[in-house]
Amino acid sequence: MSIPTPTPSAVRSHRAETYKPGAVIGDWRPEDEAFWQATGRRVAQRNLWVSIPALMLGFVVWQVWSVTVVKLNDVGFGFSKSQLFWLTAIPGITGGTFRILYTFIGPIFGERKFTAFSTFILIGPMLWLGFALQDTDTPYWELALIAAVCGIGGANFASSMANIGFFFPKREKGSANGLNGGLGNLGVSVVQLVAPLVVTAAVLGPPAGGPQHDVKENTDIWLQNGAFLWVPLLVIMALLAWFLMNDLKVAAAPFSQQKVIFKRKHNWLMTWLYVGTFGSFIGFAAGLPLLIKNNFETQGYQATTYAWIGPFIGALMRWAGGWLSDKIGGARVTMLSFVGMAAALVVVIFALPSGGDQGNFWAFFIGFLAAFAFSGLGNGSTFRQIPVIFRDQHMRQAEGQGPQAQAAALKQSEMEAGAVTGFSSAIAAYGFFFIPAMFAAMAVTHALWLFIGFYATCLAVCWWFYARKGAEAPS
């Protein structure tokens, strides 16, 4: 269906309008090719490349506990395996809960201002964590509270993804969301790779505090560096977001308008699918370091050496999932991701130690790498499906009703797609909590079989509603 094309005088007006950094943009038409080439692409790309590192730091703060817990007992804290898994899981509760809030609050106050604010407030939990780690008498309840506050970093994803989708035309939404989400997701790998390196030396100098003694390695480490390192970067990115990003008036919407998504069937169906893809990605990222430590460390395999690789692959594959979905359709890629994740977890199950068998680390690790890769594909494809589903449905309803009705339908679809993107990411973020919690509460193999069963339901939903011939909402 064609989108109304502005007159030449309107195009000249767009070109004359100021789209400078920090401005509130009142007229935004990415589907208008003349506007997009003259002005829109440049502005959209600037907002995207500021959004990405800001989002990446949010993931760093959210996932910092996944590597911190690995060394707690080595420096004298003395917690049980279950307690350590819970410290890993707790940020998932606050991350998911605050994502619900962030989904709707960004469009109310303006995404530029909210991105700057939500990045800046993450300085608090990083400072608190850094000081708490220097005292082995810090009580468990305080560390659990810090973990909960760190979880707020994960909420930034909801507002960030909803925002970036507004800047790009339909044909580029998959790639743009894939880049923003995928490179933002790299924060998981960045913290799991960098934090273990910076804690081995006094790289931040005396202001960061003295060392703790690692009894396992018989050496001094600076565990607090894994938190303090990110503070200046958070300050920088908050300032860049404030001065370089833009607020789009077309993205502004009160909650009274956004809440319509709770009546939309496809909001709930796509949330179910995204729980399967992103919930797996973030939950596996949180739980994998302790799985390696508990099952294979006695064989010489260190969690800090290997754990970051899986999330790194998954994050990059998110972009690939969005790009591939733009080419062949999101539903097909989503189905591929669930089949791939299920097969990968079967490999992991049979590679884990069982009884007197020590298991096979490399089969276990390669299986998890495949699971991360397929989850990344699905993360990209589902977020490409959402705007396509809502755009097509609203435009069909406006068909034959004239240019004004079509323009209104397009705006409504963008608003609803943004809200659904944020809400689905909020519910999926609870995977960060439930997967480590399940690993703590039951046999790991039992939990993995449950995940495989869940993927089967996701596959059925995706095929019936979005992929089969005659599907209700092909995407």
> Could you give all domains of the chain from N- to C-terminal order, each with its CATH number?
25-467 (1.20.1250.20)
Q: Are 409 and 372 in contact (CB under 8 A)?
A: no
Q: How far apart are CA 335 and CA 276, in angstroms?
A: 11
In one-letter notation, the amino acid at residue 407 is A
DSSP state of 398: T
**Residuewise pLDDT in 10s, the chain (475 residues):** 444 454 544 444 444 457 788 888 888 888 889 989 988 899 999 999 999 999 999 999 998 998 898 889 998 898 988 888 889 889 988 988 998 888 888 778 888 899 999 999 999 999 999 999 999 999 999 999 999 999 999 889 888 877 887 888 878 877 887 788 888 888 888 998 898 888 888 778 777 788 888 888 889 989 999 999 999 999 999 999 999 999 888 776 777 778 888 999 999 999 999 999 999 998 998 889 889 988 998 898 988 889 889 999 998 898 899 889 988 999 999 999 999 999 999 999 999 998 778 999 999 999 999 999 999 999 999 988 998 999 899 888 888 888 888 888 888 888 888 889 888 988 998 888 888 888 888 889 999 999 999 999 999 999 999 999 999 999 8
Q: Are 286 and 63 in contact (CB under 8 A)?
A: yes
Complete DSSP assignment for 141-205: HHHHHHHHHHGGGGGHHHHHHHHHHHHS-HHHHHHHHHHHHHHHHHHHHHHHHHHHHHTTTTTT-
Q: What is the pLDDT of residue 327?
A: 87
Residue with the two structure tokens 């699905």: 378
Work out the widest C-alpha separation in the chain, in whole angstroms: 78
pTM of the model: 0.80
Q: What is the pLDDT of residue 216?
A: 84
For residue 401, what are the contacts with CB-CB under 8 A and spacing of at least 6? none
Q: Are 379 and 185 in contact (CB under 8 A)?
A: yes
Q: How far apart are CA 94 and CA 274, in angstroms?
A: 18
Q: In which element (H, E) is residue 72 found?
A: helix 41-72
Q: In which element (H, E) is residue 220 found?
A: strand 219-221
In one-letter notation, the amino acid at residue 381 is S
Q: How far apart are CA 314 and CA 288, in angstroms?
A: 13
252 CB neighbour count, 10 Å cutoff: 17
For residue 207, what are the contacts with CB-CB under 8 A and spacing of at least 6? none
197 CB neighbour count, 10 Å cutoff: 13
Three-class DSSP category at 28: coil
Three-class DSSP category at 215: coil
Q: How far apart are CA 287 and CA 290, in angstroms?
A: 6
Q: What number of CA atoms fall less than 13 Å from residue 266's CA on the CB side?
A: 27
Distances (CA, A) of 313 to 150, 176, 324, 409: 24, 18, 16, 37
Can you read off the two tokens belonging to residue 285? Answer: 């990222």
Phi, psi of 156 (to 5 degrees): -60, -25
Q: What is the pLDDT of residue 145?
A: 96
Q: What is the pLDDT of residue 86?
A: 86
Distances (CA, A) of 386 to 164, 173, 261, 265, 407: 14, 10, 12, 12, 19
Distances (CA, A) of 437 to 140, 340, 370, 412, 461: 17, 24, 22, 39, 26
